[in-house]
Structure 1
Amino acid sequence: MTRLHHLALTAADLAASVAFYDPFLAELGYQRSGGLESPLIYLGDGPEILVYRTEGDGAGRSRHQHGAPGLQHLAFEVDDPSAVDAAFRAAVAACGTVVYAPRTYPEYADGYCATFIEDLDGSRFEVVNIPKS
Structure 2
Amino acid sequence: MPALHHLALTVRDVGASAAFYDPFLTQLGYQRSGGIESPLVYLGDGPEILVYVAEGDGVSRARHQHGAPGLQHLAFKVGDAAAVDAAHRAAAGAGGAVVHPPRFYPEYADGYYAVFVEDLDGSRFEVAYIPSN
TM category (shorter chain) comes to: over 0.9
Give 1:105's aligned residue.
105
What is the distance in 2 between the residues matched to 1:22 and 1:71? Answer: 21
Q: Deviation string for 1:19-47 (max 9, x for gaps)?
A: 00000000000000000111000000000
Deviation at 1:60, TM superposition (A): 1.5
CA distance in 2, matches of 1:57, 1:89: 33
Structure-1 separation of matches of 2:41 and 2:107:
35
Stretches of structure 1 that go unaligned for 5 or more consecutive residues are none
Amino acid at match of 1:22: D
What amino acid is aligned across from residue 75 of structure 1 in structure 2? A
**1:82 & 1:59 partners in 2: Cα distance?**
36
- Secondary structure of the corresponding residue to residue 46 of structure 1: coil
For these two proteins, the number of residue pairs brought into alignment is 133
Runs of 4+ in 1 over 6 A off after TM superposition: none
Partner of 2:51: 51
Unpaired segments of 5 or more residues in structure 2? none
Q: CA RMSD in A?
A: 0.5
Question: What is the distance in 1 between the residues matched to 2:104 and 2:53?
Answer: 35
**Mapped partners of 2:16, 2:59: distance in 1:** 15
1:89-128 deviation per Cα after TM superposition (whole angstroms, max 9, x unaligned):
0000000001000000000000000000000000000000
- In the alignment, what sits opposite 1:90? 90
Matched, 1:34 2:34: yes
Q: Percent identity?
A: 74
Q: Does 1:128 align with 2:125?
A: no
Cα separation, 1, equivalents of 2:91 and 2:38: 21
